[in-house]
Amino acid sequence: MEGINCDVELEEDGFGFLRNETTGVSEIVRRFTMSNKKGMSVQIITYGGIITSIKVPDARGNVDDVALGFDRLDEYLSKDNPYFGAIVGRVANRIANASFKIGEKEYHLSRNEGNNHIHGGFKGFDKMNWESHVVGGGKLVLSLLSGDGDEGYPGEVLTHATYSLTENNELLLQLQATVTKPTPINLTNHSYFNLAGHDAGSDGIYEHLVTINADNYTPVDKSLIPTGAIVPVRSTAYDLLKCPGQKLGPMLHCLRKEGGYDINFCVNPSSDDSKAFVARVEHPGSGRILEVFSDAPGVQFYTSNGLPDATAAQPPLIGKGGAKYWKHGAFCLETQNYPNAVNQPNFPNSVLTPGATYSHNVLYRFSTKC
């Protein structure tokens, strides 16, 4: 394709058809495959901006897919899809009581998790087919227009998501949005990772070493809504500052009552305006390392607690290649604003106004350790 960087190849094909509920016309869902000369490849589909596959080599040169997902479009359309690899919005994470005020006006959103609103509602950005085009250097740009009143939100929102793969095994996602009315915006990518391989399950995850660059976190109530407090991680199970990392198995054992990690960490900012170091995860068995950098103030660390629980005799979620996905079979690092920020005046502002541009950049760097 024209304008492609010679170090990164980009190919396009189809991933199925999706019926447009407004026009009744079937639309093609496109798939893009980026690959570099170091053995890394990434696949993205226009439905939900979903990253369906991330294949990276281990320390011995063996290539595995380290992102959970499905083989077919109809599986991504299923109610059982836990946001695998998707761009989540207009507001990621939870909004308490599915409501907020801007000025004196109160807005009521769809309630899709009890009394609360989560991940943009019943039909958030993850359930829409985005427009696509390729720009110079092998970058893929997906665009989406969200209408005024979608899921209860005010104003139209135009969002662009730019994906690029480097020759150094880095995947960069750049998110931008503009609005026609003041409205909260908090976008994230919801990829599920297992550096031992997407099908390695909890046995692989328990061996991972995790470091999160955060001195503080935002505790939550029983419905996982932040209380508004910002408290130190020191002397808690959320103290993951140690490098090369805390072994995840014993740390999850400390969180048996909570079921695992599902919490927002307040990322320590960088000394300048560049992307801050967010997290480092290492799988010693394969030697794979994932480092995350972002300019977002927070990161939701989630250990897939909502996937089926084998100990409760639940059937597994069947993923790519017939893989069985279970609880604690993956981790997510969702860079974001703090959850429910629109209702917490001491949290970073989440309301975007006309004339301003929302910008959120996240870089995933893959490497190996012998």
Query: Which of 101-105, 213-217, 274-278, 314-318 is the least confident region?
Result: 274-278
Q: What is the pLDDT of residues 301-321, one digit of tens each?
A: 999 999 999 999 999 999 999
Q: Is the pLDDT of residue 345 over 80?
A: yes
Radius of gyration of the chain (CA): 20
- Domain of residue 253 covers 201-344
Q: What gap in Å lies between CA 194 and CA 286, rounded to an integer?
A: 11
Give the pLDDT of residue 289: 98
Kindly state whether residues 92 and 151 are assigned to the same domain: yes
Checking if the pLDDT of 370 tops 80, the result is no
Could you tell me if 159 and 254 lie in one domain?
no
Least confident of 130-139, 153-162, 165-174, 328-337: 130-139
pLDDT at res. 3: 38
Tell me the CA distances in angstroms from 61 to 52, 57, 207, 212, 370, one per residue in order. 22, 5, 20, 27, 11
Q: Is residue 306 a part of any domain in this protein?
A: yes
Pairwise CA distance, residues 27 & 57, whole Å:
34
Last residue of a domain, one of 163, 189, 215: 189
- 207 and 317 together in one domain: yes
Distance CA 287, CA 325 (A): 22
pLDDT averaged over every residue in the chain? 96
Q: Which residues contact 56 (CB under 8 A, 6 or more apart)?
A: 39, 40, 63, 64, 66, 169, 288, 366
Residue 80 counted as domain residue: yes
The sign one gets for the Cα dihedral 307, 209, 258, 188 is: negative
Same domain for 211 and 177?
no
70 vs 224: CA distance, rounded Å:
27
pLDDT at 2 over 70: no
Are 56 and 157 found together in one domain? yes
Same domain? For 175 and 254 the reply is: no
Q: Is residue 3 part of a domain?
A: no
Residue 281 in this model has a pLDDT that exceeds 80: yes
For the whole prediction, is pTM greater than 0.85?
yes
Residues 205, 128, single domain; the answer is no
- Please list, residue by residue across 17-37, b when 16 or more beta carbons sit within 10 angstroms of its beta carbon and e when fewer do: ebeeeeeeeeeebbbbbbbbe
Of 81, 48, 37, 103, residue with least CA distance to 342? 103
* pLDDT, tens only, 15-30: 999 998 878 889 999 9
Let me know if residue 75 belongs to a domain. yes
Tens digit of pLDDT for each residue in 29-66?
A: 999 999 999 999 999 999 999 999 999 999 999 999 99
What's the pLDDT score for residue 274?
77
Per-residue pLDDT for 147 more than 70?
yes
The predicted-structure confidence for 59-87, as pLDDT tens digits, reads as follows 999 999 999 999 999 999 999 999 999 99
Are 256 and 155 within one domain?
no
- Which domain-ending residue is among 136, 166, 189? 189
Q: What is the pLDDT of residue 57?
A: 98
Q: Answer whether residue 133 is part of any domain.
A: yes
pLDDT score recorded for residue 6: 61
Looking at the structure of the chain, the number of domains it has is: 2
pLDDT at position 5 is 56
pLDDT-above-70 percentage for the chain? 98
**Which are the catalytic amino acids?**
190, 334
Residue 304: the pLDDT is: 98
Same domain (yes/no): 45, 93: yes
How much is the pLDDT for 157? 98
Considering the domain architecture, whether residues 46 and 166 belong to the same structural domain is answered as: yes
194 falls within a domain = no
Does 129 map to a domain? Answer: yes
Domain shared by 108 and 228, yes or no = no
What is the CATH number for 174? 2.70.98.10
Whether residue 169 has pLDDT greater than 60: yes
Q: Taking the alpha carbons of 46, 50, 52, 57 in that order, is the dihedral positive or negative?
A: positive
Q: Are residues 185 and 220 in the same domain?
A: no
Q: Is residue 362 part of a domain?
A: no
Average pLDDT over residues 262-268: 98
What pLDDT, on a 0 to 100 scale, did the predictor assign at position 1?
32
pLDDT tens per residue, range 181-201: 999 999 999 999 999 999 999
Token pair of 8, please?
A: 């990164």
